[in-house]
A and B are shown apart, each in its own frame.
Chain A
Amino acid sequence: MAEQGDQTFRVKVGPAENPVTLEVHPAAGDLPPWDLDSRLRTVKGRHPRLEAPQKVTGRAKYTYDVQLPGMLWAKMVRAPIPAGKIVRIDTTKAEQLKGVKAVWTTDAKLVRFAGQDIAAVAAVSQEIAADAARLVDVQYEATPFVTSLEEAMAANAPLVYAEGQAPAPPNAPRKGNVSGPLPPPMLGGARGGTRGDIEKGFAEAESIHEATYRVRVHTHAVLETHGIVATWEGDRLTVYTSTQGVFMVRAALAETFGLPRNRVRVISEHMGGGFGSKLSPSAVGSAFAIVACRLAKKAGAPVKLMLDRHEEQLCTGNAPGALMTVRLGAKRDGTLTAIHYRAYTEGGIGQSARTGAPAGSMYAQCPNVKLEEYDVFTNAGPTCALRAPGHPQGAFGFECAMDELAHRLGMDPLEFRRKNDTHPFRKAYYDVGAKAIGWERRNRVPGGTPGPKKGGIGMAHGNWYVLVREAVAAEVQVHRDGSVELFHGAQDIGTGIRTALAVIAAEELGLRPADITVHVGDTRFPPGPTSGGSVTTNSSGPAARLAAHEARMRIAALAAPLLNAKPEALEFADGRIFVAANPERQVSFREAAQKMQGEVVASLADRKRQFEAVRQDLAATQFAEVEVDVETGVIRVLKMVGVNNCGTPINLLTVENQMIGAQIQGASWALFERRTLDRNVGSMVNPNLEAYKILGPADMFEAVPIFTEGANAGNNTSATGMAEPVFVPTLAAIANAVFNATGVRLRQLPMTSDRVLAALAESTKGGKS
Chain B
Amino acid sequence: MAKRPPDDGSDVLRVSRRTFLKTVGVGAAATGLVGAVPGPAQAEILGPDAIPLALKLNGATRTILVEPRVTLLRALRNHLGLTGAKEVCERGACGGCTVLFDGEPICACLMLAVDAAGHEITTVEGLGTPEKLSPVQAAFVECDAMQCGYCTPGFVVASTALLNKHPNPSLDEIKAGLAGNLCRCGTYSRIFAAVQKAAEQRG
Identify which of B84, B125, B144 contacts A49 (C-beta below 8 A): B144
For window 158-188 of B, CB contacts with A under 8 Å fall at 174-176, 178-179, 181-188
- Say yes or no: is B123 at the interface (Cβ < 8 Å to chain A): yes
- Say yes or no: is A451 at the interface (Cβ < 8 Å to chain B): no
Q: Collect the chain A residues with CB atoms within 8 Å of residue B137's CB.
A: 53, 56-57
Complex formed: what's the CA distance from A268 to B67 in Å? 31
- With most chain B CB atoms within 10 A of its CB, the pick from A52, A309, A663 is A52
A726 to chain B, nearest CB (A): 11
Are A657 and B192 in touch, CB under 8 angstroms?
A: no
**Chain B: CB-nearest residue to A705:** B189
Contact A57/B124 with A127-B67, A698-B179, A700-B192 known, Cβ cut-off 8 Å: yes
For window 115-141 of B, CB contacts with A under 8 Å fall at 123-125, 127-131, 133, 136-137, 140-141
Are B189 and A494 in touch, CB under 8 angstroms?
A: no
For window 687-708 of A, CB contacts with B under 8 Å fall at 688-690, 694-698, 700, 702-703
Contact A688/B141 with A58-B82, A59-B84, A700-B188 known, Cβ cut-off 8 Å: no
Q: How many residues of B contact A (CB 8 A)?
A: 61
**Chain B: CB-nearest residue to A499:** B144
Are A702 and B189 in touch, CB under 8 angstroms?
A: yes
- Say yes or no: is A80 at the interface (Cβ < 8 Å to chain B): no
B74 to chain A, nearest CB (A): 6
Q: Collect the chain B residues with CB atoms within 8 Å of residue A494's CB.
A: 146-149, 185
Q: Collect the chain A residues with CB atoms within 8 Å of residue B124's CB.
A: 56-58
Identify which of B94, B129, B148, B175 contacts A689 (C-beta below 8 A): B94
- Say yes or no: is B96 at the interface (Cβ < 8 Å to chain A): yes
Of the listed stretches B10-18, B22-30, B33-41, B85-93, name the one at the interface; the rest are far from the partner chain: B85-93
Contact A54/B147 with A222-B184, A688-B91, A689-B182 known, Cβ cut-off 8 Å: no
- With most chain B CB atoms within 10 A of its CB, the pick from A55, A64, A221, A696 is A55
Of the listed stretches A269-277, A316-324, A677-685, name the one at the interface; the rest are far from the partner chain: A269-277
Identify which of B89, B140, B184, B185 contacts A309 (C-beta below 8 A): B89
Contact A661/B123 with A53-B141, A272-B150, A690-B91 known, Cβ cut-off 8 Å: no
Complex formed: what's the CA distance from A272 to B187 in Å? 14
Are B187 and A696 in touch, CB under 8 angstroms?
A: no
Are A309 and B186 in touch, CB under 8 angstroms?
A: no
Complex formed: what's the CA distance from A224 to B128 in Å? 23
Complex formed: what's the CA distance from A60 to B153 in Å? 10
- Say yes or no: is A654 at the interface (Cβ < 8 Å to chain B): yes
Are A700 and B86 in touch, CB under 8 angstroms?
A: no
Are B186 and A665 in touch, CB under 8 angstroms?
A: yes
Interface of B is mostly: loop
Complex formed: what's the CA distance from A55 to B130 in Å? 9
Q: Collect the chain A residues with CB atoms within 8 Å of residue B3's CB.
A: none
Contact A56/B146 with A222-B184, A688-B91, A698-B176 known, Cβ cut-off 8 Å: yes
- Say yes or no: is A658 at the interface (Cβ < 8 Å to chain B): yes
A59 to chain B, nearest CB (A): 6
Q: Collect the chain A residues with CB atoms within 8 Å of residue B131's CB.
A: 53
Contact A495/B88 with A53-B130, A58-B125, A697-B175 known, Cβ cut-off 8 Å: no
Are B189 and A52 in touch, CB under 8 angstroms?
A: no
Identify which of B74, B77, B130, B187 contacts A65 (C-beta below 8 A): B77
Identify which of B147, B150, B182, B191 contacts A658 (C-beta below 8 A): B147
Are A58 and B83 in touch, CB under 8 angstroms?
A: yes
Are B140 and A56 in touch, CB under 8 angstroms?
A: yes
- Say yes or no: is A421 at the interface (Cβ < 8 Å to chain B): no
Are B127 and A57 in touch, CB under 8 angstroms?
A: yes
Q: How many residues of A contact B (CB 8 A)?
A: 59
- With most chain A CB atoms within 10 A of its CB, the pick from B123, B176, B188, B191 is B188
Q: Collect the chain B residues with CB atoms within 8 Å of residue A60's CB.
A: 149
B53 to chain A, nearest CB (A): 15
- With most chain B CB atoms within 10 A of its CB, the pick from A56, A126, A271, A696 is A56
Complex formed: what's the CA distance from A65 to B148 in Å? 14
Are B89 and A688 in touch, CB under 8 angstroms?
A: yes
Q: Collect the chain B residues with CB atoms within 8 Å of residue A654's CB.
A: 144, 147
Complex formed: what's the CA distance from A653 to B192 in Å? 15
Are A657 and B190 in touch, CB under 8 angstroms?
A: yes
Are B181 and A58 in touch, CB under 8 angstroms?
A: no
Complex formed: what's the CA distance from A695 to B188 in Å? 10
Are A697 and B130 in touch, CB under 8 angstroms?
A: no
- With most chain B CB atoms within 10 A of its CB, the pick from A273, A495, A653, A662 is A273
Q: Collect the chain A residues with CB atoms within 8 Å of residue B189's CB.
A: 660, 700, 702-703
B183 to chain A, nearest CB (A): 8
- Say yes or no: is A62 at the interface (Cβ < 8 Å to chain B): yes
Complex formed: what's the CA distance from A661 to B123 in Å? 27
Contact A697/B185 with A53-B130, A57-B133, A59-B130 known, Cβ cut-off 8 Å: no
- Say yes or no: is A709 at the interface (Cβ < 8 Å to chain B): no
Contact A493/B148 with A273-B184, A661-B185, A688-B91 known, Cβ cut-off 8 Å: yes
Q: Collect the chain B residues with CB atoms within 8 Å of residue A49's CB.
A: 141, 144, 146
**Chain A: CB-nearest residue to B188:** A700
A310 to chain B, nearest CB (A): 8
- Say yes or no: is A125 at the interface (Cβ < 8 Å to chain B): yes
Complex formed: what's the CA distance from A272 to B175 in Å? 23
Are B140 and A273 in touch, CB under 8 angstroms?
A: no
Are B78 and A689 in touch, CB under 8 angstroms?
A: no
Are B123 and A58 in touch, CB under 8 angstroms?
A: yes
For window 25-66 of A, CB contacts with B under 8 Å fall at 48-49, 51-62, 64-65
Identify which of A58, A306, A653, A657 contacts B84 (C-beta below 8 A): A58
- Say yes or no: is A496 at the interface (Cβ < 8 Å to chain B): yes
Complex formed: what's the CA distance from A653 to B130 in Å? 20
- Say yes or no: is A664 at the interface (Cβ < 8 Å to chain B): yes
- Say yes or no: is B142 at the interface (Cβ < 8 Å to chain A): yes
- Say yes or no: is B196 at the interface (Cβ < 8 Å to chain A): no
A211 to chain B, nearest CB (A): 30
B67 to chain A, nearest CB (A): 6
- Say yes or no: is B156 at the interface (Cβ < 8 Å to chain A): yes
Are B148 and A52 in touch, CB under 8 angstroms?
A: no
Q: Collect the chain A residues with CB atoms within 8 Å of residue B147's CB.
A: 273, 494-496, 654, 657-658, 661
Q: Collect the chain B residues with CB atoms within 8 Å of residue A58's CB.
A: 82-85, 123-125, 153, 156
For window 51-75 of B, CB contacts with A under 8 Å fall at 67, 69-70, 74
Contact A61/B83 with A52-B146, A698-B176 known, Cβ cut-off 8 Å: yes
- Say yes or no: is A308 at the interface (Cβ < 8 Å to chain B): yes
A498 to chain B, nearest CB (A): 11
- Say yes or no: is B46 at the interface (Cβ < 8 Å to chain A): no
- Say yes or no: is A223 at the interface (Cβ < 8 Å to chain B): yes
Are B74 and A126 in touch, CB under 8 angstroms?
A: yes
Complex formed: what's the CA distance from A100 to B176 in Å? 44
**Chain A: CB-nearest residue to B150:** A272
Complex formed: what's the CA distance from A55 to B137 in Å? 9
Q: Collect the chain A residues with CB atoms within 8 Å of residue B192's CB.
A: 697, 700
Q: Collect the chain A residues with CB atoms within 8 Å of residue B153's CB.
A: 55-58
Identify which of A225, A271, A662, A697 contacts B148 (C-beta below 8 A): A271
Q: Collect the chain A residues with CB atoms within 8 Å of residue B90's CB.
A: 308-309
A380 to chain B, nearest CB (A): 21
Are A665 and B150 in touch, CB under 8 angstroms?
A: no
Complex formed: what's the CA distance from A306 to B187 in Å? 25
- Say yes or no: is A67 at the interface (Cβ < 8 Å to chain B): yes
**Chain B: CB-nearest residue to A55:** B149
Q: A127-B74, A495-B147, A657-B187 are in contact. List 16 more A-B contacts (CB 8 A).
A: A53-B130, A56-B128, A56-B153, A57-B153, A58-B82, A58-B153, A59-B129, A223-B96, A273-B148, A660-B186, A661-B147, A661-B185, A661-B187, A689-B91, A694-B184, A695-B186
Interface residues of B (CB under 8 A from A): 67, 69-70, 74, 77-78, 81-91, 93-94, 96, 123-125, 127-131, 133, 136-137, 140-142, 144, 146-153, 156, 174-176, 178-179, 181-192
User: What are the 5 tightest A-B residue pairs by CB atom distance, in nearest-first order?
Assistant: A58-B84, A272-B150, A664-B186, A661-B186, A494-B148
Q: List 15 A-B contacts (CB under 8 A).
A: A55-B149, A61-B83, A126-B78, A220-B184, A223-B148, A223-B150, A272-B150, A273-B185, A275-B184, A309-B91, A661-B147, A690-B89, A690-B93, A697-B188, A700-B175
